[in-house]
Amino acid sequence: MLVLALDTATPASTAALVEVTADGLTGVAERRTVDPRAHGEKLAPEIAAVLADAGHRPRDLAAIVAGLGPGPFTGLRVGLATAASMGQALGIPTYGVCSLDALGRAAGPGRVLIATDARRREVYFATYLDGERVTGPEVAKPGDVAALLRASVDRAAGEGALKYGDVFAVPVEEHLLYPPGAALVAFAADRIRQGAPGEVLTPLYLRRPDAVEPSGRKPVLT
């Protein structure tokens, strides 16, 4: 079964094709653009490109897996809206996966901190043991995360970990900054194989968006 994976929870927009079989999965193609202001412009061309790279069309897809975040409001909703609309148009199920979990799985064995940039000098973070989440996801200042974890992790991954590596004071996996498509699909593989019903893609924002509706009219002084 051919599965499309999408993630826009970080400064990168990612589109990947993964083949899910009865006994495993195989990465087919992946495209990624790192530009926090261009998710809306880059994601659709990336989807078209990975399909073209693999010689497939949208109708060949069996399911879509989307990274739910945590991530900034605007970028995150681009990926989730795209996944939901494609799933509805194609009549295929959509499944959501925590974006940090994909990084945690890809980081492999050991005690790992996954951190992505939450802006405002904060990070979204979670900790993992042998690819399984132990704590989080949460949002906090890097110094608070470092004090909380102390010596409980051996290394870190994610672009937030790279940005604040001097604060975390653990080795950083610089090759693993953004959620890989195959790792996202791995968390949904059993549901895909079983033909489980699709899910509503609910974003993990962890905090309110910067833009809010005004609470009321301001008095006018005359």
Q: At 34, which CATH number?
A: 3.30.420.40
Q: Are residues 48 and 142 in the same domain?
A: no
Same-domain check for residues 125 and 183 = no
DSSP 170-213: S-EETT--S--HHHHHHHHHHHHHHTPPP--------S--S---
Split into its structural domains, the chain has a count of 2
Residue 19, CA atoms < 13 Å, CB-side half-sphere: 9
Q: What is the pTM of this model?
A: 0.90
Nearest to 203 by CA among 55, 116, 81, 37: 81
Contacts of 27 (CB under 8 A, 6+ apart): 16, 17, 18, 180, 181, 182
Asked if the structure places residue 212 within a domain, the reply is no
Which domain does 155 fall in, by range? 100-173
> Tens-of-pLDDT digits for all 222 residues of the chain?
999 999 999 999 999 999 999 989 999 999 999 998 889 999 999 999 999 999 999 999 999 999 999 998 889 999 999 999 999 999 999 999 999 999 999 999 999 999 999 988 999 999 999 999 999 999 999 999 999 887 789 999 999 999 999 999 999 999 999 999 999 999 999 999 999 999 999 999 987 554 445 555 555 554
Q: Are residues 126 and 83 in the same domain?
A: no
Provide Rg for the chain, Cα atoms.
18
> In terms of DSSP bridges, do strands 12-21 and 2-7 run parallel, antiparallel, or are they unpaired?
antiparallel
Strands (E), the chain: 2-7, 12-21, 24-34, 61-67, 94-97, 111-119, 122-129, 132-140, 155-157, 172-173
- Rounded to an integer, what distance in angstroms lies between the CA atom of residue 201 and that of residue 190? 18
